[in-house]
């Protein structure tokens, strides 16, 4: 075993890592990331890696962005934090205006939290209380999708649909109604239609990840389906909550995935890329109509009794404003379209590999499925740890990835350039071939 640095020692001794089997982790020498350069991460030995999953889907314009660094520095010299309970701060106000200007028409109010899961909790509670305030006490159930993922707090898990993550906690969850996954978009629409025809009176909202079920395995819905979802929710008076924590901020080729179908949700949830991947911040954005239902004299107790210590944190908001300004200044979304085309072409190559059963992408979000036998569809066993082995192998090629089981995820910062896209895909291709064909 290689000798460990102090940092690795402290880590192994004191940190319990998220979504990590610590028995397995304890036998390894964790990489220590201590510097960065654009889309590259740099470890304590000076090795450079392409940040192939945007530091878990958060980074947008690369690391060490001058503009975001400066915005945070300027803000920290004024004040790092003051509460948003009953008072305000410039950064939170300016960002709220920017978000409303940017969001689909009809969204009007921004509620801040710190992470994606918290923003989902806010969306669920907001939708629930809205119907209570409207006197529709029976409209209290939530519809969600199989293979959906909305975070790890209990409300978010209640509307989640990934058994391997969620089923342990079943006894702690509120009941939700699960319809199909993006394995079949037509079945999602069919299930929803049948359900709403029968039970809309009891349903508060439908929550889903627009177009890409990310943590569920990068499953992608068919073009145009969101329009039909919106129409069904309208017809049956059910709120539509879109969780764009993963898909927001250009990942799918548009600023928000719901723009592909030009629809407005009743509640839009943003997180991850909101600050460009710098600081924790999330937002639950809703309509004037929902907001108005909560207005009244204090003793009517219509207040939305929910909040977080760091809601609207000025440092996070300053980072988010700078992040949005970079989109404008650099014409990021326009430039993205050619990159997506190149990325798609590169992904085609993977289908020639013996173990690759399918590649899918929406914008720069992609999944590459690995199977033991392409002809029969036989999967690798959990014990094989093939997804992990491929990512370990990619590391040697200078690429940092994190798989979803045996689906290899590619989701680089959208600032990635053409030659970096090629480097990322070629190295990943080699890693898959080495592990699954060459036994390297």
Task: Report d(CA 306, CA 123) in Å as an integer.
Answer: 11
Return the number of the residue (162 or 293) whose C-beta is nearest ligand PLP: 162
**What minimum distance in Å lies between the beta carbon of 56 and ligand PLP?**
7
Residue 15 CB, shortest distance to ligand PLP, in Å, is 17
Helix (H) or strand (E) holding 51: strand 48-51
> Which residues have C-beta within 8 Å of that of residue 156, sequence separation ≥ 6?
117, 120, 121, 124, 150
> Please, which residue, 75 or 213, has the CB nearer to ligand PLP?
213
- Contact, 245 vs 208, CB < 8 A? no
Our CB check for ligand PLP shows the closer of 151 and 277 to be 151
Instruction: Enumerate binding residues for ligand PLP (CB under 6 A).
Output: 115-117, 120, 149-151, 209, 214-215, 243, 245-246, 271
Burial class (CB in 10 A: 0-12, 13-18, 19+), 224: exposed
Q: Which position has the token pair 């200044």?
A: 329
Output 367 or 433, the one with its CB closest to ligand PLP.
367
Residue closer to ligand PLP by CB (options 215, 394) is 215
Cβ distance to ligand PLP smaller for residue 215 or 283 = 215
Smallest distance, ligand PLP to C-beta of residue 74, A:
26
Q: Closest distance between ligand PLP and the C-beta of residue 164, in Å? A: 15
The minimum distance between CB 384 and ligand PLP, in angstroms, equals 25
In the complex with ligand PLP, the residue whose CB is nearer, 16 or 298, is: 16
Instruction: Extract the tokens encoding 231.
Output: 């129409």
**CB of 272 vs ligand PLP, minimal distance in Å:** 6
Q: What CA–CA distance (Å, rounded) separates 307 from 313?
A: 12
CB of 328 to ligand PLP, least distance (A): 25
* Bridging pattern class, strands 407-410 and 365-370: antiparallel
The torsion angles phi and psi of 119, rounded to 5 degrees, stand at -65, -30
C-alpha 240/C-alpha 207 separation (Å) is 6
User: How many distinct helices (H) and strands (E) make up the chain?
Assistant: 15, 16
């Amino acid at each position: 075993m290689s000798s460990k640095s102090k940092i690795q020692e402290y880590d192994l001794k004191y940190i319990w890592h998220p979504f990590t089997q610590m028995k397995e982790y304890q036998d390894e020498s964790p990489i220590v990331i201590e510097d960065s350069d654009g889309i590259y991460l740099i470890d304590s030995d000076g090795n450079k890696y392409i940040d192939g999953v945007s530091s878990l889907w958060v980074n947008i314009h690369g690391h060490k962005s001058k503009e975001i660094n400066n915005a945070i520095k300027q803000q920290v010299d004024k004040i790092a934090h003051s509460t948003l309970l009953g008072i305000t701060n410039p950064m939170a106000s300016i960002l709220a205006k920017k978000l409303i200007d940017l969001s689909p028409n009809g969204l009007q109010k921004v509620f801040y939290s710190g992470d994606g899961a918290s923003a989902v909790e806010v969306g669920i509670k907001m939708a629930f209380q809205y119907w209570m305030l409207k006197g529709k006490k029976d409209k209290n159930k939530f519809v969600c999708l199989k293979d959906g993922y909305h975070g790890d707090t209990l409300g978010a898990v209640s509307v989640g649909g990934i058994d391997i993550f969620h089923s342990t906690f079943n006894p702690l969850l509120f009941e939700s109604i699960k319809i199909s996954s993006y394995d079949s978009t037509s079945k999602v629409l069919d299930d929803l239609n049948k359900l709403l025809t029968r039970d809309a009176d009891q349903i508060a909202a439908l929550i889903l990840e627009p177009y890409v079920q990310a943590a569920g395995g990068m499953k992608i819905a068919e073009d145009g389906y969101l329009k039909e979802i919106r129409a069904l929710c309208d017809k049956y008076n059910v709120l539509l909550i879109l969780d764009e924590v993963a898909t927001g901020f250009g990942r799918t080729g548009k600023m928000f995935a719901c723009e592909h179908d030009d629809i407005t949700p009743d509640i839009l949830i943003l997180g991850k890329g909101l600050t460009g991947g710098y600081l924790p911040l999330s937002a639950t954005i809703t309509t004037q109509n929902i907001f108005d239902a909560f207005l009244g004299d204090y003793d009517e107790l219509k207040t939305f009794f929910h909040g977080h210590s760091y809601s609207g944190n000025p440092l996070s908001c300053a980072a988010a404003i700078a992040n949005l300004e970079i989109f404008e200044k650099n014409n990021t979304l326009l430039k993205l379209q050619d990159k997506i085309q190149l990325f798609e072409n590169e992904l085609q190559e993977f289908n020639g590999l013996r173990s690759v059963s399918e590649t899918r992408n929406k914008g720069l979000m992609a999944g590459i499925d690995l199977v033991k036998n392409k002809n029969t569809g036989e999967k690798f066993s959990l014990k094989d740890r093939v997804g992990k082995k491929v990512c370990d192998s990619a590391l040697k090629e200078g690429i940092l990835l994190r798989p979803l089981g045996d689906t290899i995820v590619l989701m680089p910062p959208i600032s990635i350039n053409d030659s970096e896209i090629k480097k990322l895909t070629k190295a990943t291709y080699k890693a898959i071939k080495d592990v699954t064909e060459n036994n390297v």
